[in-house]
Chain A
Amino acid sequence: MLPFGLGLTYYFIYLPFPHEILNVQGFKMPLLDFTVAGQIIYLLFVNMILIGSYFTEERFQGTLETIFLTPCNRFALLLGGSLAGLINYFWFILGLTSVVFFLDIEPKICSLSAVFLSLGLAVLSTIVMGMLFQVFFVSSRRGNMWATVFQEPVIFISGIVFPLQYAPRFIRMLAYGVPLSYSVLAFRASVFAAATVSQLSTIFILLGGLTISYSIATVYCMRSVDIKLRRDGTLQLF
C-alpha cells in the first residue's frame, strides 16, 4: 500500500505542473517528465544509501566483527548489501512509477537499447555509489551523519531537481564527477526525449568510466577502512 499511497501523493503534487518544455543539455522534454524521471533515479539512489544503515545495526548487534572475523571478500559484502537493497526496494520504485504514469506522461522512446542501456548503467552506477556510501557506515558510528552530509548535495549537483545548465559553474564542475548526473540525463533523454544510443554514446562512456573509477575507489576505501578499524580497535564499539 505504501508505494501506491506515495504514488498518489506525487500524483497530486505533480498534477498542477505546467506543461512547459525544457531544454535539458540539448534534449527537449516537458517539465513534468523531467521531474518524474529525476524522482525515479533519485529514489534508487536513496535506497542504496539506506542499505548502508544496516551496517549500523550490525555494529549494535556485534555481528559486524563476526563478519570481519571471516575471510569473505569485503567488496562482495558491500555488493551483496547493494543488491539486497535493489531487490528490496525495486518493487517500491515500480509501484511508484506505475502510479505517476497516470499523470498524462507520454514516454518518447526511439531506441529501446538506449533505454535499457541507460537504465542498466543507472542501476549499476547507483549500486557502486551505494557501496561507497556503505563504507562510511562500516567505518564509523557516525556513518549516518557522513552519508547525509554527502547525500544531500548530490540532489543539486546531479541535475535531479533542475537542469544542470542553469546551475552555477562550480556545481557543473562537481557534476562531472558524479555518476548520478550522467545516469539521470541518459534516462531522461532515452525515455522522454527519444534519444538514440549514438546520441548518448558519450554519456554512456563517461558513465561507464566513472562507475569503474568509483568501484576502484570503493575497493581502496574498504581496504583502508578495514585496516583502520583493526588498527584503532573500533570494530566492536557501538
Chain B
Amino acid sequence: MELPELLDRCRQGNSLAWEELVRRYQGRVFGLALHYARDVEEARDLAQEVFVRVFQRLGSFRPDEPFLPWLLRVARNLCIDQIRRTASRPPGSDIPADEALNLRAAGQSPEEAWEAGSRQQLVHRALRQVGEAHREILLLKEIQGLKLEEIAALLDLPLGTVKSRSSRARVELAETILRLAPEAGVAS
C-alpha cells in the first residue's frame, strides 16, 4: 500500500494501517534513537515514545508534507528533550554490533555479517566522538537520507551552512575513524 493511502487510513483510526506504519518505520526511528540514547534499552524506550507521540499528532500532519522528515523531526526533538532531562549524560557505551545493530541486509554470510557489524560498530564509536553539530548532519543526511533543504528546515539553519557543514562532517568522521582504527585506511 502506498504511503499516502496508509497515512490516510491511519488518520481515520484504522488500527491495521497504524500497525503497518509502525512496522514500516520502526527500524528508521530505532536507528535514529540509537545515536542519541545511552544504551539499546533506552533507545528502544525512546523509539516507543516517538511512535506514541506520532500517534497523538497524526491529526496535525499535513498530507502534502513529506512524511519521513516529519517523523524524523518528531523523533529528533523527543530524543533531544530526553537528553536534556538526563543532564548528566555519561558517554554512550559501544553497542554490540552483532546484537543491537541487527542489520537488515539479507543474504549475507555469517562472516560478511560479522565484518559489516564490526565496521558499523567502528562507525558508531566514531560518530560519538564527532562534534554535536556535525553528528546531527551526518545522522540526518548520510544515515537517514534527508535532503539538504529538509535538514535546513529541521535544524533552522541556512542551506549554505548545512551544505558546508555536511562536507566538513564527512571529513571529520573519516578522520575520527582513521584515528580510532588506522587500518581502516588501508585498501583491501
**A, B: real partners:** no
A: which residues have CB within 8 A of B? none
B: which residues have CB within 8 A of A? none
